[in-house]
Amino acid sequence: MGEMDWRNFEQDSLPPLLRCAVKTFVAHGYHGTSTRTLARAAGLSLPGLYYHFASKHAIIVAIMDLAMDDLWRRSLAAHAEAGDDVVLQLGLHIQCLALFHAHRRELAFLASTELRSLEPEAQARSIAARDRQEYLLIDILRLGATRGAFDVADASQLARALITMCTGISQWFSTAGPLSPGSIANDYVRYAQRLVGLV
């Protein structure tokens, strides 16, 4: 696989069928979308769709899993790049979250709105993936506090505030707006630094 370029979002991580499904789910919601609609959007017959996926549920699950996995691998690569410098660990982690949610708005929207639509096993897996993602940030905050670099009273509380601030980018960011994902990410890194008492 080689080194992952976690700042690069040029290539879509989803195969075409799932990319079409994301657009359809975003427009009509999971429950408002039929398997027939998904097939039509992807230019497939219904049997053609079923050749790839057993059900509508299997499609949303595949989308969620790929999205969470993409974010996780990027976060690990950012963490590796930062090495042992905890201020840099925080900075690159936030940069990664901010870039992901600016570049992958539709995926982020689905992940937050359709978690409720997953069947129990898939939902539990998706929640576990979120928790793992959250613990990575909590650990960085705790390490910074232990080393006396950060002033953090409640690391899990602050982690949630930071994460929802970053996921919120997917709600308002527009490629037509004046800000680039890169400049937004830089601003959010500064916000995070202020929140831990740096700067």
Q: Which residues of the chain form contacts with a second copy (CB under 8 A)?
A: 26-33, 112-113, 116-117, 153-154, 157-158, 160-161, 163-165, 167-169, 171-172, 179, 184, 187-188, 191, 194-195, 197
Closest to a second copy by CB, 31 or 147? 31
Report in angstroms how near the CB of residue 66 gets to a second copy at its nearest: 21
Rounded Cα distance, 159 and 115, in Å: 20
On whether the CB atoms of residues 49 and 38 are closer than 8 A, the answer is: yes
Rounded Cα distance, 183 and 8, in Å: 15
On whether the CB atoms of residues 67 and 107 are closer than 8 A, the answer is: yes
Report in angstroms how near the CB of residue 55 gets to a second copy at its nearest: 16
Report in angstroms how near the CB of residue 57 gets to a second copy at its nearest: 13
Tokens describing residue 138 = 């909590």
Report in angstroms how near the CB of residue 62 gets to a second copy at its nearest: 20
Report in angstroms how near the CB of residue 187 gets to a second copy at its nearest: 6
Closest to a second copy by CB, 11 or 116? 116
Closest to a second copy by CB, 13 or 112? 112
Tokens describing residue 15 = 């195969």
Rounded Cα distance, 115 and 130, in Å: 11
Dihedral, CA of residue 185, residue 187, residue 189 and residue 191, to nearest 10: -140
Closest to a second copy by CB, 5 or 151? 151
Closest to a second copy by CB, 80 or 161? 161
On whether the CB atoms of residues 95 and 189 are closer than 8 A, the answer is: yes
Question: 150 CB contacts (<8 Å, ≥6 apart)?
Answer: 86, 90, 141, 144, 196, 197, 198
